[in-house]
Amino acid sequence: MEYAIEVEGLSKHFGSYAAVDNISFSVPKNKIFGFLGPNGSGKSTTIRMLCGVLLPTAGNLRVLGKDVKTNTDFVRQNLGYMSQKFSLYEDLSVEKNLDFYAGIYGLNKSAREVRKRELLSMAKLEGREKQIAGHLSGGWKQRLALGCAMIHRPQLMILDEPTAGVDPISRREFWGIIRELADQGTSFLITTHYMDEAERCDLIGFIYNGKIIGDVVSPIHLLEQERAKGIEDVFVRYVDRMNKEESSPGIGGYNA
């Protein structure tokens, strides 16, 4: 099996604080992986290491079969990143935003024009090319941001809370686009606080206090395994179990 992401024994320490603590997981190619956890759990630190922006304290990580530490340029050329803040130039038009990101990734004029048409169609932004990005609604900004992040045809997309603050209809339409792209061969790592979105993923994994809780499995398998009604119930159970283990005498938790 080919993997989009392989993480083994990964840790990141800031002084004595372990933001990420010896985590391991793998994500097959062409899958949507939901990376779930509360704020401060270690999600963003893990993402920064996957992107090659932050060096790990220990462990190994591979993206698309390449060691991130020794193949940073390859990883950056084949990875797309979209944050919840929608990294757009709001005083530029839809088209100019796409042109700007195409320039960053070195697309020539002919490749840029072909790719722009494809992305405008994907995001259903045709007819809005001249509209100023800052005047778009949250849902339209979201689609444009996704198009900008995908301008260079990345094999792996990392979306960090991409639907935060977006209305339910736009969220649903956005996930329709994500599913279509995954079916066409793009791999995704997505963080979200919406548990209904987590259930749309092919695989999900939980992180809490810098540690992976449980296994990376499909939402359906997880719900059946835990006999739970929803993903949120499962996460609460995991956290309760972890807190009990860490507070028990003789177990190497925070109170040991």
119-175 pLDDT per residue, tens = 999 999 999 999 999 999 888 999 999 999 999 999 999 999 988 878 888 899 999
- Beta-bridged to residue 157, according to DSSP, are 80, 188
Q: Domain segments of the chain: what residues?
A: 1-78+154-213, 82-153
Who contacts 214 (Cβ-Cβ below 8 Å, separation ≥6)?
A: 205, 206, 222, 238
29-49 pLDDT, tens digit per residue, is 999 999 999 888 999 999 999
Give per-residue pLDDT as tens, 211-244: 998 889 999 999 998 888 889 898 888 888 877 7
Average pLDDT, the chain: 90
E strand map for the chain: 3-14, 17-28, 32-36, 58-63, 66-67, 79-83, 156-160, 187-191, 203-208, 211-217
Closest CA to 64 of 24, 27, 12, 33: 27
Q: What fold characterizes domain 1-78+154-213?
A: Rossmann fold (3.40.50)
pTM for the structure as a whole: 0.89
Which residues, other chains included, contact 134 with Cβ-Cβ below 8 Å and sequence gap of 6+? 90, 91
- Reading phi first (left if > 0) and then psi (alpha if -120 to 50, else beta), residue 85 is in alpha
Q: pLDDT band at residue 1, thresholds of 50, 70 and 90?
A: confident
Token couple for 256: 């040991």
**Alpha-carbon gap, residue 146 to 104, rounded angstroms:** 15
* Radius of gyration of the chain measured on its C-alpha atoms: 19
163-217 confidence digits (pLDDT tens): 887 888 889 999 999 999 999 999 999 998 888 899 999 999 999 999 998 889 9
As a whole number of angstroms, the longest Cα–Cα distance in the chain is 65
> Rounded distance, CA 82 to CA 144, Å?
10
Does position 85 have pLDDT exceeding 70, yes or no? yes
Q: Write the DSSP assignment of 9-39 as a string of letters.
A: EEEEEETTEEEEEEEEEEEETT-EEEEE--T
pLDDT, residue 232, reads 87
What's the average model confidence in pLDDT over 51-76? 95
